[in-house]
Structure 1
């Protein structure tokens, strides 16, 4: 089982106990504002999302991690890697993504977990390059990408929702663990 420990967090695969807390995170309009069409997700949609992430783990050898606080075991959110198949112009690519519950914002958890996932991608999974696709206007996610050493390199349009997206990238030669 793939697990990563950081000073404050545990990144791990999903289990059935994660559905309810992730569903609460996904039901928050502030959390979902920059994701998809901006609509909150219900319990069934959240279950489908976890299933897709677990399928990606099985197919690709990576996916989104469940992120929990060390000590308390509280689910903070989801951080990890995904193939952005909805943006074929970016393929082949692996997208670093993050989504945290609102109560965990502003504490450095997104950067800490994303840094661990980036290191996992480049060092453990042997990827040469990782991108982060951020919806234009999402300054908090821009800052996370920048903290990781990623640089803006392109723009794209979300084909389903029409939103402008900013594409950040970093390759193995630019990465400093």
Structure 2
């Protein structure tokens, strides 16, 4: 075997190993990526029970129930569909009815979303972009005037 042939075999096998490693990394990342889904998306696509998903929408008014041992039940709505959510743990201070929420977890066989993580908006002006877009598409979004956060008012002397 000539020197040139050995070099080509070495380069070819190195590229093959590199391609295999990249394919392996991409396949593992694809399984761990969690996308945002509205209640309508989950109901329409019939998310498989046990599959990890992110559910986003508004906490439905009148649906919040607190139980023993930090157990919380509520419904997430996008205006069209509601999905019951069960969560055990401490929710953020700003979590309440009528506010935006994102829950990470999976769908139980009975249709209840079992949340492992619950995230609430962090101030009165924030709502995740995906929720805003979904609510706008469905005609349930109402624009509100946000206070001017970038300007400092100066007092007259």
Higher helix share: 1
Give the shorter-chain TM-score range.
under 0.3
Larger Rg: 2
TM-score between both structures, scaled by the size of structure 1: 0.20
